[in-house]
Amino acid sequence: MIQNTWFDPFFIFENLSEEDKLIQKNVKDFSTSILKPNVVEHNRNHYFDRSLYKEFGKLGLLGPTIKSHGGAGASDTAYGLIAYEIEKIDSSYRSSISVQSSLVIHPINSFGNEEQKDKYLPSLISGYKIGCFGLTESEAGSDPSSMKTTYKEYQDGYILNGNKNWITNAPIADIFIVWALNENHETNSIKGFIIEKETKGLSTKIIENKTSLKISPTGQILIDEVFVHKSNCLEKTNGWSSVFSCLNKARFGISWGVLGSATACWLIAKDYTENRIMFKKPLAANQLIQKKLADIQTEINLGLASCILTTKAMKQDRNTINAISLLKRNNCKKSLNIVRNCRDMLGANGLVEEYHIMRHLVNLETVNTYEGAEDIHALILGRNQTNISSF
Ligand code: TGC
Ligand code: FAD
């Protein structure tokens, strides 16, 4: 009998660097001891404990690849492993980390000036401040370039107006990254702004009773004649490619993260079917169940292997835009399918909160939609393949 290679047939985890292995172990210990015990209750109550951000910060999980301002300077693989381990517990917690790292710390680090970095990065990396990223609007989801939020130059800054919708962390954020177009709505006029919570004219509204990603607070940002001093404009922003560079980072993390969700459900289903006796033998003794387990094992491991290949290409400074769209789409779609199959393998018990699978399943519906819905990534890949845009 082949020993233990069923879980990691390509030796992905075994071949990690010692530092990445240690990071993965620390995150796993933290998430199983701190996050997992409360996840069912917090999900039931739509409750997010904001003090967790300081715990994430202490562990180096926020902006982990940043080498300055308190960042851990870890590898992109470590960033992926963090997402993978955290999402084993709940996609909401991975969302908290993704938004802060890829959508708030990254744009400030990449498109901010030195004063902005010194002012905002230390408190975001340590988790003392919470950030959010306002791109989507009610009528500008898959096509953010049709946004209605605008800026106009005024004295030594800008006046902003508009509303953002479906924004992770908006109700609890201290720092808001907001994207806006000029008054004439010219697409190439896109600018990013750092706005602090107390700024006059800025308010938020929580989206109540979400049925998915319930632990993660989501809301609207209402921007009514908000004055932003020019020192809070992300001055190195270079058109939409800067906005999309934030999405690339988040999508990369999601591609690892969803496999964490799928893995958690796989192991629950494997254990359950090995122990559940039906027709006088374990469910796992049936060929149909073993085929399902083999399909799950295959998709998770192929997904992880592709994550590792993409991470290597990133390290070589290659253009990974296609790889990331492919991974985000594939890994979300496959994970959703895996988790749905796991739910089925538990029969009625699959519906019970304490088995976790239904929560993962409804969370993955969100993850399949945000950061570019499944079909949008198909259209991105189709356009890049054929040179014909269908948008
Ligand atoms: P398009 O013409 O494609 O591009 C405009 C400029 O951007 C460049 N570009 C990219 N650069 C870097 N990375 C990428 N992935 C890029 N994709 C495009 C492109 O080269 C061009 O540059 P330049 O210099 O020529 O101007 O623009 P488009 O308007 O046709 O884009 C269409 C589309 C569908 C690809 C885009 O709008 C899109 O990706 N839509 C999906 C929207 C989305 O993903 N929203 C995410 C919101 S944030 C979120 O959901 C957070 S969830 C957080 C959580 O809780 O985890
Ligand atoms: P739509 O764009 O209306 O799309 C609806 C459906 O139509 C999708 O299936 C899509 O694939 C399909 N579709 C759209 N256009 C086409 C086309 N041309 N051809 C074929 N099919 C098409 N946004 C942020 O900016 N910041 C955040 O922090 C953030 N957090 C979020 C958290 C949650 C819980 C959720 C649910 C969303 C969040 N979003 C955030 C918004 C998210 O990015 C958008 O929901 C997503 O981009 C899709 O936009 P939409 O919901 O308007 O759907």
**Could you tell me the two tokens for 305?**
């292997």
Which among 211, 247, 376, 390 is the best mutation to test ligand 2's pocket, defined by most ligand atoms within 8 Å of the CB? 376
For ligand 1, the distance from its centroid to the CA atom of residue 143, given in whole angstroms, is 8
Which among 130, 142, 389 is the best mutation to test ligand 2's pocket, defined by most ligand atoms within 8 Å of the CB? 142
Total Cβ atoms within 10 A of residue 49:
12
Q: Are 310 and 327 in contact (CB under 8 A)?
A: yes
pLDDT class of 277 with cuts at 50, 70, 90: very high
d(CA 356, CA 286): 24
Check if 11 has its Cβ closer than 6 Å to any atom of ligand 2. Answer: no
The β-bridge relationship of strands 175-182 and 131-134 is: parallel
Indicate if 371 belongs to the active site. yes
Atom number, ligand 1, closest to the C-alpha of residue 98: 56
Which among 136, 143, 247 is the best mutation to test ligand 1's pocket, defined by most ligand atoms within 8 Å of the CB? 247
For ligand 2, the distance from its centroid to the CA atom of residue 208, given in whole angstroms, is 18
The β-bridge relationship of strands 131-134 and 277-278 is: unpaired
**Could you tell me the two tokens for 294?**
């083999």
Atom number, ligand 1, closest to the C-alpha of residue 372: 44
- In percent, how much of the chain has pLDDT > 90? 99
d(CA 155, CA 157): 6
User: Residues enclosing ligand 1, CB less than 6 A?
Assistant: 95, 98-99, 133, 135-136, 142-145, 168, 239-241, 244-245, 247-248, 250, 321, 370-372, 376, 380, 391
**Could you tell me the two tokens for 377?**
């990534």
Q: How many helices and strands in the chain, by DSSP H and E?
A: 12, 9
Which whole-number Å values give the CA distances from 276 to 279, 284, 341, in the listed order?
10, 8, 16
Q: Report, as an integer, the average pLDDT of 357-375.
A: 98
Say which ligand is closest to the CA of 167. 2
- Check residue 3 and give its pLDDT: 61
- Check residue 4 and give its pLDDT: 72
For ligand 2, the distance from its centroid to the CA atom of residue 281, given in whole angstroms, is 45
Say which ligand is closest to the CA of 391. 2
For ligand 1, the distance from its centroid to the CA atom of residue 105, given in whole angstroms, is 18
Residue 134 has what DSSP assignment? E
Say which ligand is closest to the CA of 146. 1
pLDDT digits (tens, 9 = 90+) for 248-274: 999 999 999 999 999 999 999 999 999
Whether residue 1 is predicted with pLDDT greater than 80 in this model: the reply is no
pLDDT digits (tens, 9 = 90+) for 288-330: 999 999 999 999 999 999 999 999 999 999 999 999 999 999 9
Whether residue 87 is predicted with pLDDT greater than 70 in this model: the reply is yes
For ligand 2, the distance from its centroid to the CA atom of residue 141, given in whole angstroms, is 4
Upper half-sphere CA count for residue 375 (Cβ side, 13 Å): 4
Q: Which residue has the tokens 């210990």?
A: 29
Nearest alpha carbon, ligand 2 atom 21: 375
d(CA 329, CA 336): 11
Q: pTM higher than 0.85, yes or no? A: yes
What are residue 177's phi and psi, to 5 degrees? -95, 115
Total Cβ atoms within 10 A of residue 294:
11
For ligand 1, the distance from its centroid to the CA atom of residue 371, given in whole angstroms, is 9
* Cβ-based neighbours of 53, under 8 Å, separated by 6 or more: 62, 96, 100, 127, 128, 130
Say which ligand is closest to the CA of 369. 2
Whether residue 2 is predicted with pLDDT greater than 60 in this model: the reply is no
pLDDT digits (tens, 9 = 90+) for 99-139: 999 999 999 999 999 999 999 999 999 999 999 999 999 99
C-alpha dihedral over 74, 306, 105, 236, to 10 degrees?
110
Q: Are 141 and 166 in contact (CB under 8 A)?
A: yes
In the three-class reduction of DSSP (H, G, I as helix; E, B as strand; rest coil), residue 241 is classed as helix
* Cβ-based neighbours of 25, under 8 Å, separated by 6 or more: none
